[in-house]
């Protein structure tokens, strides 16, 4: 228990360092896009591909992979329906933003934030399954999010643009990793060392970046919007709790799969939908504020959930 708490504490110390560095202008707001590109285009793909090709293919790995990906499909479908119900019951306004709130609740940050946190706390096996879960998240974000954002509007969906959005370096890295896993291919030792070294840089980079993003947020203004507060509560508390209650009853699932499904549901709103909303001409500003608030909330909820999962399942 103390080991897990220590790992969680170390991660959030890095976030705090990023926060302070942003406030005192060592890492100003102008540095955020550059560090984001460094992580998303270099270190995170290395982390993703190495987590896959380093596995040994076995019946258990195949079963766990199938269970995780099937569970992710069910999660995103069910959470979308549940979020739509919440938005309707509480009559979110304006009505043209209802799709945006649904997206804010359902798009979990299991990649950008989930990858490093999961690997640092739970290790390689759970992290591999989180990568598999993230494949479905990407399909959901670039396939389902544009039409969800346009709920109530007469906007046409451009399949070519959606497909282009899916073609990013992280996705290619995952595909390459799966091919290497299935073919039993391992990179030369020198190349593997380079990939692993770059992979290891993802955790401190991403946590510093989260801190920088929080440092540039105006929390006081965000807290004045009751719909943002309700979205935050639903995404960060209600959905993870419901996910645990349901998944915990599924005795046929591997323990690692249960942990991934529950832990993935606990992450804050993903950053990518903000760019998608901007592209679709929707309320990207409010969505960005939700990202900030859910990320702040996760500083409390993720450590608690991580310690709980470790003590409950292991």
Tens digits of residue pLDDT in 119-154 = 889 988 999 999 999 989 988 987 888 889 888 665
Residue pLDDT, tens place only, 265-282: 999 999 888 878 877 788
pLDDT band at 239 (very low <50, low <70, confident <90, very high): very high
Residue pLDDT, tens place only, 21-34: 999 999 998 998 89
Kindly tell me the sign of the dihedral angle through the C-alpha atoms of 309, 76, 211, 297: negative
How far does Cα 21 stand from its chain's mean position?
Answer: 24
Count of alpha carbons within 13 angstroms of residue 8, beta-carbon side:
19
At 66 the pLDDT is 96
At 227 the pLDDT is 97
Residue pLDDT, tens place only, 180-222: 998 999 999 999 999 999 998 988 888 888 888 888 888 788 8
At 161 the pLDDT is 66
Query: Cα–Cα distance between 136 and 153 in angstroms, integer?
Result: 26
Q: Is the separation of the CB atoms in 166 and 138 below 8 Å?
A: yes
Q: Shortest CA distance to 195 belongs to which of 70, 49, 4?
A: 49
Buried-state track 71-110, b at ≥16 Cβ within 10 A, e below 16: bbeebbeebbebbbebbeeeebeeeebbbbbbbbbbbbbb
CATH number for 2-313: choose from 1.25.10.10, 1.20.1530.20, 1.10.1370.30, 3.40.640.10: 1.20.1530.20
Q: What is the mean pLDDT of residues 221-228?
A: 91
Residue pLDDT, tens place only, 248-268: 999 999 999 999 999 999 999
What is the value of pTM for the model shown?
A: 0.85
């Amino acid at each position: 228990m103390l080991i897990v708490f220590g790992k969680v504490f170390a991660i959030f110390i890095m976030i705090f360092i990023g926060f302070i560095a942003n406030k005192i202008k060592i890492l100003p707001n102008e540095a955020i896009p550059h560090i984001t590109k460094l992580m998303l285009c270099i270190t995170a793909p290395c982390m993703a591909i190495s987590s896959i090709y380093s596995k040994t293919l076995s019946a258990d790995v195949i079963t766990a992979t199938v269970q995780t990906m099937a569970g992710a499909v069910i999660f995103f479908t069910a959470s979308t329906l549940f979020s739509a119900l919440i938005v309707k019951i509480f009559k979110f306004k304006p009505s043209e933003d209802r799709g945006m709130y649904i997206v804010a609740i359902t798009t979990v940050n299991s990649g950008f934030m989930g990858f490093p946190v999961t690997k640092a706390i739970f290790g390689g096996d759970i992290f591999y399954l989180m990568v598999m879960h993230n494949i479905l998240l990407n399909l959901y974000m670039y396939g389902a999010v544009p039409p969800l954002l346009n709920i109530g509007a007469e906007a046409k969906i451009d399949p070519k643009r959606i497909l282009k959005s899916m073609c990013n370096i992280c996705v290619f890295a995952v595909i390459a990793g799966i091919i290497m896993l299935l073919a039993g291919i391992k990179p030369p030792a020198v190349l593997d060392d380079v990939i692993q070294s770059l992979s290891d840089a993802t955790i401190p980079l991403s946590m510093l970046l989260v801190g920088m993003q929080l440092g540039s947020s105006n929390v006081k203004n965000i807290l004045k919007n009751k719909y943002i507060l309700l979205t935050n509560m639903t995404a960060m508390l209600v959905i993870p709790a419901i996910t645990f209650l349901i998944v915990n009853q599924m005795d046929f699932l591997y323990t690692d799969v249960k942990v991934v499904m529950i832990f993935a549901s606990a992450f804050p709103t993903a950053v990518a939908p903000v760019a998608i909303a901007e592209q679709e001409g929707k309320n990207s500003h409010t969505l960005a504020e939700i990202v900030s608030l859910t990320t702040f909330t996760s500083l409390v909820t993720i450590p608690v959930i991580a310690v709980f999962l470790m003590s409950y399942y292991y």
